[in-house]
């Protein structure tokens, strides 16, 4: 990887055969030798498909490691599948590549995809590469399957349900802020910003348990707002119950301002979901067996919108509901 | 559309609800209210999926009409499905949007998608929008279906097969050249560059007839080169038989230099395919019924690579095989 030749920017076909063809692990990918991929949906399941792009300077920073950029592009899509209870199968990637990326950079980028393919048991299915005079842009379409009729939608929350969230909230937003203010950084908060963890195993176990779910990308309050709107309900979140990581608490404390910061920053990629009270015991056992913290943070009521409530039960004033990438 | 308010740049959610939600015509799109779409593959068919992005300044020009930019992004993907014999069903779009696009521009862009959805009987299924500090970038993933096991691959050409191409070759490349040299332009060549016509109905009829197929995007010779490589054969194309449009002939004549130009420029989005001689009569009847010209241009032999042969049967020297967007 250090010879002059390997640092030369490869052409499109060389790039595909060297870096991407080895990622086409499934027969339907047709070894990336065709313009399309084939995919057969197993019996009693249906196809779930999602597509999200990430743009340099908007969703990631230029100096982020190439492997983590690739993994983030993939994982934000896998996170969408996770929140719907789907099992991922494969993905297509459209890569708009600035001229200044070296062969080494590309090798690390493909290496990140390779690691995540193994971790999440998925295969590259196709896509294309193109030059761009602008920022690196990676659009991924991810395919998965779910039991027929069992997709966990945003629209199933009902008054009386409880509200839960996986993992901890706020780390990624804090990590981004750190990177922006200092120009660089490391540590657990930055790692959480660069490399979200899609909650796939938990999501699949929530099928038949959760009444509605969403992955937290815009911010906990903003995303629960989508659930509230589509379900036609009000969601009340207790600020004191929002789970904060050790690293986050160490930096910002546990007061209401810290919770406000956590609940209105984005990029957490945890699953926020609602669940009927009748299924709470089953959920507790799922959470124990999945090894991922699942925290009850509020309840669903008649009405509309989302409130974040302080210790006295009053709604806290929100300057913004979340972070927008638009 | 001319009020000041409608010229204001809408936010992401407003943009989706105003311009894109009306395009989500199928139940599985979940009204774009969720992060994913559902898709059920009909019995005895399998899913075919493809993804291609187009970038401003690379695949289209900044001043191209917004509707035709949208249609081109969609059609280059539909063309991939067409060449494989697939029936298109829906698509996801990732739109990386510069800040300077007005509400009017967005309305025309969405209008282009709406027209093509009706024309090709497909629906928007999902995707996302993001801001970008760079050029407009549109990544589309298109879904379709094909009879199980009947996909027309690139790898099925056999020595003895005949080689065909739909429509006429070279118009789009000439149109692009005209736009680049004059800065603007109109007429049939420019129209063919801006708005390719995916040969979907022909492609579906080629299932069981064509032994291998590809859509011509890189250039006739370059794309037949892909077929030759994957099939492990040589393809000989007779220069005099390459179909040229009236508009192209008027500008460049019909000599070997004109054919060389046509066969090595890109963006035609015709189907180039091979067919066993035993099926040539059936093919002729399909061509008549489809209303699209299908021209025999050469034959498949043992060996490798592609040659373009002059009237004397000798291979013409090619400066390049095609146009690359990379």
Query: Cα dist. B291→B68, B126, B241 in Å?
Result: 24, 33, 19
Please list every residue in chain A whose beta carbon sits closer than 8 Å to the beta carbon of residue B321: none
Confidence check: pLDDT of B247 > 70:
yes
CB-based contact A207:A146 (threshold 8 Å): yes
Query: Which secondary-structure segment (H or E) carries A14?
Result: helix A12-15
Per-residue pLDDT of chain A (326 residues; tens, 9 = 90+): 223 333 445 677 788 888 898 999 888 888 888 889 999 999 899 999 999 999 999 988 888 899 999 999 999 999 999 999 999 999 999 999 999 998 899 999 999 999 999 999 999 999 999 999 999 999 999 999 999 999 999 999 999 999 999 999 999 999 999 888 887 778 899 999 989 999 999 999 999 999 999 999 999 999 999 999 999 999 999 999 999 999 999 999 999 999 999 999 989 999 999 999 999 999 999 999 988 999 999 999 999 999 999 989 899 988 766 655 54
Strand order in the sheet with A87-97: A123-131, A87-97, A137-147, A45-55, B37-39
Q: Quote the minimal CA–CA distance from A130 to chain B in Å.
A: 5
Task: Pick the residue of A9, A19, A36, A94 with the most B CBs within 10 A to test the interface with B by mutation.
Answer: A36
**Encoded tokens for B223:** 């794309």
Residue in chain A nearest B53 by alpha carbon = A94
Closest partner CB to A47 (pick from B38, B128, B151) = B38
- Asked if A141 and B137 come within 8 Å (Cβ–Cβ), the reply is no
Contact call for B135 and A132, based on CB within 8 A = yes
Phi, psi of A288 (to 5 degrees): -60, -45
Distance from the Cα of A14 to chain B's closest Cα (Å) equals: 11
Per-residue pLDDT tens for B8-57? 456 777 888 888 989 998 888 888 888 899 999 998 999 999 999 999 99
Among A57, A132, A230, whose Cβ lies nearest the Cβ of B33? A230
Residues of A in contact with B12 (CB under 8 A): 324-326
* pLDDT score for A138: 98
Q: How far apart are CA B191 and CA A16, in angstroms?
A: 31
Residue B201 reports pLDDT greater than 50? yes
Query: Are the C-beta atoms of residues A227 and A212 closer than 8 Å to each other?
Result: yes
Look at B53 and A325 and tell me if their CB atoms are within 8 Å.
Answer: no
Nearest C-alpha in B relative to A80: B35
Residue B5 has pLDDT above 80, yes or no: no
Q: Do B92 and A49 touch (CB under 8 A)?
A: yes
Distance from CA of B110 to the nearest CA of A (A): 18
Mark yes or no for CB contact A59/B130 under 8 Å.
yes
Nearest to B220 by CA among B262, B192, B276, B281: B262
Q: Which residues lie below 8 Å from residue A221, measured CB to CB, with a gap of 6+? A: A237, A263, A264, A306, A308, A318, A321, A322
Inter-chain CB proximity B51 and A153 less than 8 Å: no
Q: Is the dihedral of CA B88, B201, B65, B185 positive or negative?
A: positive
Instruction: Dig out the tokens for A198 from the structure.
Output: 């899609």
Sign of the torsion formed by the C-alpha atoms of B119, B120, B121 and B126: negative
What gap in Å lies between CA A264 and CA B279, rounded to an integer?
64
Q: Which residue of B has its CA nearest to A81?
A: B36
Task: Report the pLDDT value the prediction gives residue A26, as an integer from 0 to 100.
Answer: 87
Place of tokens 């949007």: B97
Tokens 């059920």, residue located: B40
Chain B partners within 8 Å of A135 (Cβ): 132-134
> For B108-158, how does the pLDDT look when each residue is reduced to its tens digit (9 = 90+)?
999 999 999 999 999 999 999 999 999 999 999 999 999 999 999 999 999
Instruction: Indicate whether B3 pLDDT > 50.
Output: no
Q: Which one of B15, B35, B86, B218 makes the best mutation probe of the A interface by having the most chain A beta carbons within 10 Å?
A: B35
Q: Is the pLDDT of residue B6 over 50?
A: no
Rounded mean pLDDT of B81-101?
96
Rounded to the nearest 10 degrees, how much is the dihedral formed by the CA atoms of A30, A32, A35, A40? 40
**pTM, 2 dp:** 0.92
Tokens coding A146: 């779910």
Contacts of B57 in chain A (CB under 8 A): 133
Quick check: B81 and A36 CB within 8 A? yes
β pairing state of B234-238 and B306-309: parallel
CA distance readout (Å), B210 to A39, B38, B179, B221, B276: 22, 32, 35, 18, 7
Question: CB–CB of B130/A87 below 8 Å?
Answer: no
Asked if A139 lies within 8 A of B94 by C-beta distance, the reply is yes
Residue B166, token pair as written in the block: 């739909």
Contact A168, A259 (CB under 8 A): no
Please list every residue in chain B whose beta carbon sits closer than 8 Å to the beta carbon of residue A81: 36
Q: Which residues of chain B lie closer than 8 angstroms to A47, CB-CB?
A: 38-41, 47
> Do A153 and B83 lie within an 8 Å CB cutoff?
no
What are the Cα distances from residue A223, in Å, to A218, A264, B188, B306, B312? 6, 9, 48, 54, 69
Alpha-carbon distances of A277 from A127, A284, B96, rounded to whole Å: 44, 11, 41
Looking up tokens 């000798």, which residue turns up?
Answer: B314
Interface A-B: count of C-beta contacts within 8 A: 214
Q: Work out the burial of residue B111: count CB atoms within 10 Å of its CB; fewer than 13 is exposed, 13-18 middle, 19 or more buried.
A: middle
A162 touches A284 (CB < 8 A): no
Name chain A contacts of B230, Cβ cutoff 8 Å: 33-34
Nearest chain A Cα distance for residue B250, angstroms = 33
Report helix, strand or coil for A306: strand
Do A165 and A272 touch, CB atoms closer than 8 A? yes
Cβ pair B39:A47 closer than 8 A: yes
Comparing CB atoms, the residue among A46, A50, A129 nearest residue B126 is A50
The residue of chain B nearest to residue A11, with distances taken between CA atoms, is B326
CB contact under 8 A, A128 and B48: no
| CB-closest option in A33, A54, A214 to B154 | A33
A184–chain B nearest CA distance, Å: 21
Per-position DSSP letters for B34-100, written without gaps between them: SS-EEEPPPTTEEEEEEEEEEEBTTTB-TTS-HHHHHHHHHHHHHHHHHHTTPEEEEEEEEEEE-TT
| Residue from B32, B122, B128, B228 whose CB has the most chain A CBs within 10 Å, to mutate | B128
Q: What pLDDT score was predicted for residue B251?
A: 93
For B31-45, b where at least 16 C-beta lie within 10 A, e where not — what string?
Answer: ebbbbbbbbebeeeb
């Amino acid at each position: 990887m250090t010879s002059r030749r390997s640092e030369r920017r490869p052409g499109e076909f060389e790039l595909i055969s060297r870096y991407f063809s080895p990622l086409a692990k499934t027969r339907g990918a047709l070894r990336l030798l065709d313009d399309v991929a084939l995919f057969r949906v197993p019996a009693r399941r249906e196809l779930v498909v999602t597509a999200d792009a990430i743009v340099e300077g908007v969703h990631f920073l230029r100096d982020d490691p190439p492997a983590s950029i690739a993994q983030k592009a993939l994982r934000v899509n896998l996170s969408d599948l996770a929140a719907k209870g789907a099992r991922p199968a494969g993905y297509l990637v459209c890569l708009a590549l600035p001229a200044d990326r070296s062969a080494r950079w590309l090798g690390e980028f493909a290496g990140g995809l390779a690691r995540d393919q193994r971790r999440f048991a998925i295969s590259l299915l196709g896509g294309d590469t193109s030059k761009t005079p602008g920022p690196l842009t990676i659009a991924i379409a991810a395919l998965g399957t779910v039991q027929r009729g069992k997709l966990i939608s945003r629209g199933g929350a009902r008054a009386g349900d409880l509200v839960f969230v996986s993992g901890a909230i706020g780390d990624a937003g804090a990590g981004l802020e750190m990177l922006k203010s200092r120009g660089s950084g490391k540590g657990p908060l930055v790692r959480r910003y660069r490399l979200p963890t899609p909650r796939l195993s938990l999501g699949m176990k929530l099928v038949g348990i959760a009444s509605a779910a969403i992955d937290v990308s815009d911010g906990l309050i903003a995303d629960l707002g989508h659930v509230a709107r589509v379900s036609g309900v009000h969601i009340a979140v207790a600020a004191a119950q929002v789970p904060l990581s050790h690293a986050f608490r160490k930096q910002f404390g546990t007061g209401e301002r810290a919770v406000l910061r956590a609940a209105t920053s984005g990029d957490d990629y945890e699953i926020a979901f609602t669940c009927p009270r009748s299924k709470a015991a089953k959920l507790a056992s799922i959470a124990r067996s999945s090894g991922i913290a699942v925290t009850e943070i509020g309840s669903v009521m008649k009405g509309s919108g989302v409130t974040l409530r302080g210790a006295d039960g009053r709604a806290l004033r929100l300057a913004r509901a979340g972070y927008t990438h638009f």
